[in-house]
Chains A and B, each alone.
Chain A
Amino acid sequence: MSTTTTQVFTIFIRATPEQIWDAITRPEFTVRYFHRSRITITPERRASLAPDGSVRGDTAVEVFDPRRRLVHGWRSLYDPAMAQEPESRVAWEIEPGNGGVCKLTLTHDRLEGAPRTAQEVSGAGWMGVLSGLKTLLETGQPLYR
């Protein structure tokens, strides 16, 4: 089904493109909204570490266009069954709008060979992360303690 192998999520955030970019690519921000993962993204690589230092994600970066667009591979290394599935892909797009609000669009695709991952990240999966990102940027506090 096209709806599960390509998943698109949109959220509007009162923040600058720079603030959103930093929140996506720097571990001191991601640890406060992305299941406590410390995620570091460079032009070459995306690395995600769990609180205990174990590797949750380790993939290549395809597009690194600061404040606008980021595309990287996705593997769910935090779960043994999902870790066996082939790599999928995540794209983040930041578009400035009116009144200091940006539209953030996240597209998770190439999920044809990763049905468990597709199920896990759908709906509440990605929207939980994006809701936490929005709360952190707009209030300075994490959504969940």
Chain B
Amino acid sequence: MSTTTPTHLATQVYQIFIKATPEQLWDAITKPEFTARYFHGARITVTPDHYESLGPDDAVWGDAGVEVFDPPRKLVHGWRSMYDPTLNEESESRVTWEIEPDEDGVCKLTVTHDRLEGAPRTAEAVRGEGWMGVLSALKTLLETGKPLNG
């Protein structure tokens, strides 16, 4: 296992289009009663100062600073994968959420996970279906009112 992240994985960008208002998306990203239904069961609370993620058993899955808190447009926070002992040893990376209204009541949501140069295992764990699993479930929850899985 290499100790540095391949260049093409150090900055990962994911996009999805969701029929929801920017406010609904913002709430779904920042409030635990929503995140518990699409983000691997994690109860995530984001305030202007802090990002906190708790597992179903109250274990701390994430605990990081918030760099930008601009409702309902842009959120930037640190990322540490504390749910896995090996990933937890890696340096902090960064996640940016951008919400842009499109036509017909649809928003474009862009997630950028960057600063992954020093976190190769995290980069591998979140790539592709990692983030797209979360974003697919977020879309299903907002459009149907039900979780994607279960």
Q: Name A's B-contacting residues (CB within 8 A).
A: 1-3, 8-14, 98-99, 101, 103, 123-124, 127-128, 131-132, 134-135, 138-139, 143-145
Contact = CB atoms under 8 A, between A and B. Distances in A.
Nearest to B147: A99
Contacts of A99: 148-150
Contacts of A3: 8
A46 B148 CA distance: 31
Interface residues of B, number: 25
Contact of B139 (A1, A2, A8, A131): A131
B125 to A, nearest CB: 14
A134 B136 contact: yes
B140 A14 contact: yes
Contacts of B108: 124
B131 to A, nearest CB: 9
A12 B8 CA distance: 23
29 contacts: A3-B8, A8-B128, A10-B128, A10-B129, A10-B132, A11-B132, A12-B133, A12-B136, A13-B136, A14-B140, A99-B149, A99-B150, A103-B129, A123-B15, A124-B15, A124-B108, A127-B15, A128-B17, A131-B16, A131-B17, A134-B136, A134-B139, A135-B19, A138-B144, A139-B144, A143-B19, A143-B106, A144-B103, A145-B104
B18 interface: yes
A140 to B, nearest CB: 10
B137 A12 contact: yes
A121 B136 CA distance: 19
A9 B17 CA distance: 14
Contacts of A143: 17, 19, 104, 106
Contacts of B148: 12, 14, 99, 101
Contacts of B128: 8, 10
A127 B129 contact: no
B13 interface: yes
B49 interface: no
Contact of B132 (A2, A12, A132, A145): A12
Top 9 A-B residue pairs of the complex, sorted by shortest distance between their CB atoms: A131-B17, A12-B136, A10-B132, A127-B15, A10-B129, A3-B8, A144-B104, A99-B149, A145-B104
